[in-house]
Amino acid sequence: MSTDGAERRELRVHARKKACLAGIVMLGGYAIPCTIVNLSKFGARVTLHKSITLPRRRTRLTCARFGRIAAEVVWQNGMDVGLKFAPTPATGNRQN
């Protein structure tokens, strides 16, 4: 396996679709512009436009196409960030 991440094993259950959408990640009262790189029903990968470390906590992702989505920061690698969308009754994604 390559160490550059080019040959990563896919562990996700839900397929992601490529995207190129302008978005904003909210951190407290700060709005951090980002590009939404890919999306699934349960999460997204975004690339921040600023070099900032986000804490692993609840946040919001805002996009003109989808509106405001509650999410949680689950990983960060440089300016790339993985977000898990908060469960809603509509998605059936419930946490115990």
- Say which amino acid occupies 80: D
| CA 90 from centroid of its chain's CA atoms | 19
Q: What is the pLDDT along the chain (96 residues), one digit of tens a residue?
A: 444 444 445 455 557 789 999 999 998 889 999 999 999 999 999 999 999 999 999 999 999 998 999 999 999 999 999 999 988 665 454 443
- In contact, 57 and 76? CB cutoff 8 Å: no
What residues does each domain of the chain span? 17-85
pTM score: 0.76
CATH architecture of 17-85: Beta Barrel (2.40)
